Amino acid sequence: MRKKIGIMTTGGDCSGLNTVIQRLIDGCRLRKWDIIGIQDGTDGLYANPAKTIDLTNDVFQFASSHLAGSILSNGHDGVMNFEAAAHAGKLSAFNKRLQKSLKDLNLDAMVLIGGNGSLSLAHTYNEIYSGLQLVCIPKTMDLDIPLTDKTIGFDTAVQQLSYYAEQLSLIARSHHRWFVIQAMGRACGSLALHAGVAVGADAILIPEVKFDVDNLVKHIKQSKRDYGIIMVSEAISIRGHSGKPADMISRALSAANIPNRTSFSEHLQRTGDTTASDRILAMGFADTALKAIENNETNVMTALQNGEYKTVSLSDFFNAGRKVKDPNIVGVMTSNRYVEPDDVLLQIATDMGIYIGEKRK
């Protein structure tokens, strides 16, 4: 049966989006399905008419599939989106417009490629996608989505941050100083933890593990080197201190006469050629999503669990995580995943002499 499939990327940027789009295009062509892209995420879906593009080789070259960003774009500032609609008290009307746009497009299925915020919204406002199959693919450099061992973009972000830290370690050695590098990751410490272990950082500070600044200073002073890397998650906090986490740690080191500099890799972590592991993951998730459509599944998310590609329901995804209030949309909860106390990398870091903190939350 010939189907019409829509693809939409939403939320923050990460590498691997173009790869999974390309794999979905390939799979749809094999099945002789029609496929269109929604441009600018829900921003484009809200437009009248919705902003769409036919996904053919003329508009999407295979050679570009490894590049960062999304050929469909994820949206832009200054337009009506979930946050703007909630702020203006027009969320109900916004949702109805999205639902009407999807109906007018006459889609059989929508593949939504998004992070935990986007997937939480898809679960909460599921009526938007009534009348068609909804299959979600998890992508985020934060690795904060429940029920999947991997998310598209995470491995590439770890690679980017690791390379950045390695280059700074050369400068650190030349100038006999410490570099405090602030990693992204929002409320989850996975990116800082993985990149910190990858480069052999001297200390890794993440929000899931309580740490003592005095013990950190003591650890650095006892180091056999007078230079190194301290990897800091952007979500850590220090009681009685304010400002960026890296700056707070830097001030504590300076007060102890430890030469140091702060460094912020910022959006570099969202860029870079998609790593082989992320490309493989994109292929697996695309294949799983298309099979879910063939099997008439809906309201599901693709997942990788213990080496097996599968689908899980959006309700299971949402209920499995720790729910927190969305800071921008009143009344909406987001389902989050964090570094677990028994994460093997925490023990490995401790065994290898990396300061990780004292108490796992």
User: In the predicted model, what is the mean pLDDT of the chain?
Assistant: 94
Give me the half-sphere count of Cα atoms (radius 13 Å) on the Cβ side of residue 338. 18
List all residues 6 or more positions away from 108 whose beta carbon is below 8 Å from its beta carbon.
3, 4, 5, 132, 133, 293
Same domain? 106 vs 165 = no
Same domain? 161 vs 228 = yes
Q: Which of 40, 43, 142, 144 is catalytic?
A: 142
- Domain-embedded: residue 235: yes
Closest CA to 5 of 41, 32, 40: 32
pTM for the model: 0.96
Confidence band, pLDDT 50/70/90 cuts, at residue 331: confident
- Domain-embedded: residue 336: no
Mean pLDDT confidence for 98-126: 97
Same domain? 142 vs 59 = yes
* pLDDT for res 87: 87
* pLDDT for res 75: 81
CATH number of the domain encompassing residue 30: 3.40.50.450
Same domain? 169 vs 83 = no
- Domain-embedded: residue 173: yes
Rounded alpha-carbon distances, angstroms, from residue 222 to 2, 7, 108, 264, 352: 67, 53, 62, 26, 15
* Sign of the alpha-carbon torsion through 63, 283, 119, 195: negative
Phi, psi of 316 (to 5 degrees): -65, -40
Q: Which two tokens stand for residue 96?
A: 């109805």
- Domain-embedded: residue 327: no
Q: What's the domain count of the chain?
A: 2
- Domain-embedded: residue 333: no
Same domain? 35 vs 84 = yes
* Whether the Cβ atoms of residue 214 and residue 170 lie closer than 8 Å to each other: no
Same domain? 225 vs 257 = yes
- Domain-embedded: residue 330: no
Confidence band, pLDDT 50/70/90 cuts, at residue 64: confident
Same domain? 54 vs 188 = no
Place of tokens 């013990």: 215
Other beta carbons within 10 Å of 127: 11
Of the chain, the percentage scoring pLDDT greater than 90 comes to: 86
Same domain? 123 vs 77 = yes
Q: How does pLDDT run across 212-249, given as a tens digit for each residue? A: 999 999 999 999 899 999 999 999 999 888 899 999 99
pLDDT at residue 127 tops 80: yes
Lowest mean pLDDT among 76-90, 121-135, 140-154: 76-90
pLDDT at residue 202 tops 70: yes
Beta-bridged to residue 130, according to DSSP, are none
- Domain-embedded: residue 169: yes
Same domain? 140 vs 20 = yes
Assess whether 108 carries a catalytic annotation: no
Domain that holds residue 111: 4-153+274-320
- Domain-embedded: residue 325: no
Angle at 195 between CA 191 and CA 197, to 5 degrees: 120
Strands 359-360 and 209-210: antiparallel
Closest CA to 157 of 77, 26, 281, 274: 274
